[in-house]
Amino acid sequence: MTFTIQGESDYLRLTYLEVFGFPDETGHWGGYDARVNLEIKSRNFRVNESFYSSTGELYEFAEKLNIANQQIDGTVAFSSYEGTLEFTISYNKLGHVTIKGRFSEQNDFSNELIFEFYSDQSFISRSLEEISKITEKYGGMTGVKQ
């Protein structure tokens, strides 16, 4: 399952490759632990790398992003529990959106991409539709098991 935060010519794309424990065992960080593939295109820089996150982190991010997108106001942050991916989505009153963040590899090297690109409310609305398919399947912080 994939969602994309599309910019004018750049993007950030997360694909959930493996979701561990679904539907019976949730992880420490809420929802289910997941191995996620990340693609970032920011001007001439690109990332294509896997990292670990949780469906709960995505759920909380989506809840806040939905409110900011409706109000066309605010800044929403995403941070993976390993700290490898962090980004914010910030709105201005005209519906323009700035995406800023950083991705760092979890290895012996100190490689890091700091990125920034621009989008708008209509692109974020599409992202929220894609995210909702993931959160509907995996639930919130407590997963889907009753």
CATH number of the domain residue 67 falls in: 2.30.31.10
Crossing angle of helices 55-71 and 121-138, in 10° steps, is: 140
Domain tally for the chain?
A: 1
Q: Which residue, among 57, 50, 46, 48, has the nearest Cα to 131 in the 3D structure?
A: 57
pLDDT at residue number 146: 59
pLDDT at residue number 22: 96
Q: β-pairing, 33-42 with 2-6?
A: unpaired
The distance between the two most distant Cα atoms of the chain, rounded to a whole number of Å, is: 46
Burial 122-134 (b: 16+ CB within 10 A, else e): ebbeebbebbeeb
Residue 143 falls inside a structural domain: no
Q: Can you tell me the mean pLDDT for 18-23?
A: 96
DSSP 123: H
Determine the length of the chain.
Answer: 146
Condensed to tens digits (0 to 9), the pLDDT of residues 75-123 reads: 999 999 999 999 999 999 899 999 999 999 876 778 899 999 999 999 9
The CA distance from 97 to 51, in Å, is: 25
Residue 144 falls inside a structural domain: no
Domain around 69: 2-138
pLDDT at residue number 109: 75
Residue 20: pLDDT over 90: yes
Residue 146 falls inside a structural domain: no
Q: Can you tell me the mean pLDDT for 70-76?
A: 96
pLDDT at residue number 106: 74
Token pair of 58 as six digits: 């995505």
